[in-house]
């Protein structure tokens, strides 16, 4: 078991609706030493690639993406959820369906901060159905930037997002992949990874 799987077993809670709650170290209170280790692990996995920016989505991706960006020595850009219906032409926009809130959001990134020269590492906390990542990939594509890799902290392997994105040929790496979780007993089963 790796450092993250150990922490999930210790502090994660299985909630109804296939939700894993990790508020104690990732999504509400943040264990910054753990985030630093996560950042180092992404560097270990993607360090052979030339990355010019780290891209994530607000809010829960931001802390993690900061630590990854620090490791690579590059800026971090996050997609903002936009309330305005008429977003200007000065932004890249994608529609993202929120797994945890069940609504749709427009997410935007200013054209100032992404360009065709960029080589991106996309980071997020969770991967479920893949809507957040697909939205970020769409924004990267609209900017003409290349997606060099996608790094996820916790992938729920029993939901379709991971398979969809790997089938598109992207280099997607998840530090922990949960293959099953039992609401009744709280038992969590991880996929074996080398």
86 φ, ψ to 5°? -105, 85
- CB-wise, 29 or 115, nearer to ligand 5GP? 29
The region of 16-24, 74-82, 84-92, 105-113 touching ligand 5GP under the rule CB under 6 A is: 16-24
Residue of 13, 27, 31, 191 that binds ligand 5GP (CB under 6 A): 27
Ramachandran class of 144: left when φ > 0, alpha when ψ lies in -120 to 50, beta otherwise: left
Sketch the per residue contact string, 154 through 193, with ligand 5GP: x for CB under 6 A, - otherwise.
--x----x--------------------------------
> Using CA atoms, how far apart are residues 60 and 101, in angstroms rounded to an integer?
13
Integer CA distances (angstroms), 176 to 75, 90, 128, 156, 160, in order: 25, 37, 13, 9, 16
Site for ligand 5GP in 112-151 (CB under 6 A): 124-132
Nearest distance from C-beta of residue 32 to ligand 5GP, angstroms: 18
Nearest distance from C-beta of residue 45 to ligand 5GP, angstroms: 19
Site for ligand 5GP in 59-78 (CB under 6 A): 60
Six-digit token pair at 92? Answer: 């890249």
> Using CA atoms, how far apart are residues 84 and 103, in angstroms rounded to an integer?
15
The contacts of residue 80 (CB under 8 Å, 6+ apart) are 58, 107, 108, 109
Site of interaction with ligand 5GP (CB under 6 A): 19-22, 27, 60, 99-100, 124-132, 156, 161
């Amino acid at each position: 078991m790796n450092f993250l799987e150990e922490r999930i077993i210790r502090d994660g809670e299985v909630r109804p609706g296939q939700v894993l709650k990790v508020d104690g170290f990732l999504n509400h209170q943040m264990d910054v030493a753990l985030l630093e280790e996560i950042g180092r692990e992404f560097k270990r996995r993607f360090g052979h690639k030339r990355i010019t920016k780290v891209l994530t989505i607000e809010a829960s991706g931001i802390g993690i993406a900061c630590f990854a960006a620090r490791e690579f020595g590059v800026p971090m850009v996050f997609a903002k959820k936009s309330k305005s219906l008429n977003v200007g032409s000065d932004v890249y926009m994608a529609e993202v369906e929120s797994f945890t809130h069940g609504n749709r959001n427009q997410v935007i990134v200013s054209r100032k901060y992404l360009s065709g020269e960029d080589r991106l590492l996309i980071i997020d906390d969770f991967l479920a159905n893949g809507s957040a990542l697909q939205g970020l990939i769409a924004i990267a594509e609209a900017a003409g930037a290349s997606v060099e890799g996608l790094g996820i902290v916790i992938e729920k392997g029993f939901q379709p997002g991971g398979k969809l994105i790997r089938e598109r040929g992207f280099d997607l790496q998840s530090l922990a992949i949960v293959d099953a979780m039992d609401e009744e007993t709280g038992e969590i089963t991880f996929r074996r990874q080398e």
